[in-house]
Structure 1
């Protein structure tokens, strides 16, 4: 998939929180942006709509959790559904990136809510693995 130059938003999707990071195709560096704390889907997508409108991304990257052996995680289907909703609602291409250890590694290091930093790691992984 060839991506136009511009902003990329990345998401570490969770049932309680969604971590968000931003980067661009020119610098290829990810930066933690914010954590969306919203009580329901309507509130989550209202916050996401504001971000999409503000940043006008050319691509969204969503972390796809997997077990260490590469098999699907219980959150895999939910993350895939979230990615499909982003694409369907906003018309922005979406790429799923294996996030096998991002949140676990950060949580072990800092022991606090690190969803935005996990999103930044997911986006940086995308940049590092994509020519």
Structure 2
């Protein structure tokens, strides 16, 4: 089944796509939050193109179990996604994904790769791959 992941940011929303048959995700172009307004039309087009079964949304919980400042905005984004598109949205801890994404991008292409849009989409890849790992473990334990 197709799964789409989001890495919500105030200015950019990263996206990644995968199939549960795979162990890896592919980044999609990130969306720019023009004047902090979510581009719902573009999200709708992406959802109609890929027809995902679930949406995975990065949720910022630190290593002590505390929510980060942006968590409230992500919770609102989650509610809006569910309300508008009637697709289940699952939260997945995104702790350290931004730092790891920056490291991966820097190794690939140096400073020129470290653009916010690239960082958010790579973070979405990491979020989705983390979710896929847990999903596959649960399937194997059935």
Q: Which TM bucket (shorter chain)?
A: 0.7 to 0.9
What's 2:129 paired with?
Answer: 124
Unaligned runs of 5+ in 2: none
Question: 1-side partners of 2:7 and 2:38: how far apart?
Answer: 17
Map 1:2-41 → 2, pairs under 5 A: 6-40=1-35
What is the total number of aligned residue pairs between the two structures? 126
Unaligned runs of 5+ in 1: 1-5
- Indicate which of 89, 93, 96 corresponds to 1:94: 89
User: Which contiguous aligned blocks of 4+ residues in structure 1 show a shift greater than 4 angstroms?
Assistant: 40-43
Question: 2-side partners of 1:30 and 1:129: how far apart?
Answer: 14
Residue 29 of structure 1 and its aligned partner are, at CA, apart by 2.3
Q: Which has the higher helix share?
A: 2
Counterpart of 1:92 in 2: which secondary structure?
coil
**Which protein has the larger Cα radius of gyration, Structure 1 or Structure 2?**
2
- Indicate which of 62, 66, 80 corresponds to 1:85: 80
Q: Compute the TM-score of the two structures, normalised by the length of structure 2.
A: 0.81
Aligned-pair Cα RMSD in Å: 1.6
- Change in Cα spacing, 1:14 to 1:42, as seen in structure 2 (3 Å) is closer
Q: Compute the TM-score of the two structures, normalised by the length of structure 1.
A: 0.88
Counterpart of 1:123 in 2: which secondary structure?
helix
